[in-house]
A and B are shown apart, each in its own frame.
Chain A
Amino acid sequence: MNLQSRTLESNLEPVKTKGSKWWQTGIRPDYRFSLANERTFLAWIRTSLAIVAGAIGIDQFASHLGSAQLRLVLSIALLVVGGTLGGVAYTRWARAERAMRQETDLPLSLLLPFLALFTAVLAVGLAAIIIIFG
């Protein structure tokens, strides 16, 4: 299948009607690109849900870890990051979809370096807690 021709073929929507929402303006992107964008969104949601599961895991299944305050702080930190990822997943999807409709460059997302940094800090922190509290 020729990517270029499909994109042109599907260019049936009216271009930028004034006052309409962003998801009604511009061209209709190649459906494969839209589906790929949707899968990326879902991957972020799964990451977020896994972090939430980790937070509940610390709260429910790690009663010997550190102190009650420490477990509370860890759980809430995980929940805040999980919730942020879940919310930002939507804005990331919307920005990418909008860029595809307006045929501009895909936006840069700082989500990935942020998640990498958070995971590294969390892993080191947990290791320290386990070593200190035994």
Chain B
Amino acid sequence: MQDKAPRDPGLQPERTGLAWSRTGLLAFLAATLSVRVGLTVTDLAHLLTALLLAGLGAASLRRGHQRARYTANEEVVTAASRAYIFATSAIVVIACMSHVALLLARYMRTH
């Protein structure tokens, strides 16, 4: 049984892969919205934030693809997961901080 790479009856790898894909699609949505903010106020920094979020989207979709093909014979290594999870978290925090800074900067300019 072990040598045929048994599939998990609970479909955990597929579910985790789809969770990554959903997250990736939402990151693309956030990137698109950032592009819109960047276009209306012609701010390069917003477009860079959008690029960062789009990068997160692409990486998440890729990770989702990897995860969905995972088999129970492999081990989930905390260190490897941690790299992706830390990067994801960091990008979201950076995107939020840059949006706050840019909204404040725009308000200062116009008022």
For chain A, residues 15 to 58, give those with C-beta under 8 angstroms from any C-beta of chain B.
21, 23-24, 28-29, 31-32, 34-36, 38-39, 41-43, 45-46, 48-50, 52-53, 55-57
Beta-carbon contact of A38 and B34 below 8 Å: no
Secondary structure dominating the interface of B: helix
A39 proximity list for chain B (CB < 8 A):
15-16, 19
Cβ of A105 to closest chain B Cβ, rounded Å? 18
Interface residues on B, range: 35 or more
> Which B residues are within 8 Å of any A CB, using their own CB?
8-10, 12-13, 15-16, 19-20, 22-23, 26-27, 29-30, 33-34, 36-37, 40, 67, 72, 74-79, 81-82, 85-86, 88-90, 92-93, 95-97, 99-100, 103-104, 107, 110-111
**Which A residues contact B (CB, under 8 angstroms)?**
1, 10, 21, 23-24, 28-29, 31-32, 34-36, 38-39, 41-43, 45-46, 48-50, 52-53, 55-57, 59-60, 68, 72, 75-76, 79-80, 82-83, 86-87, 89-90, 93-94, 97, 101
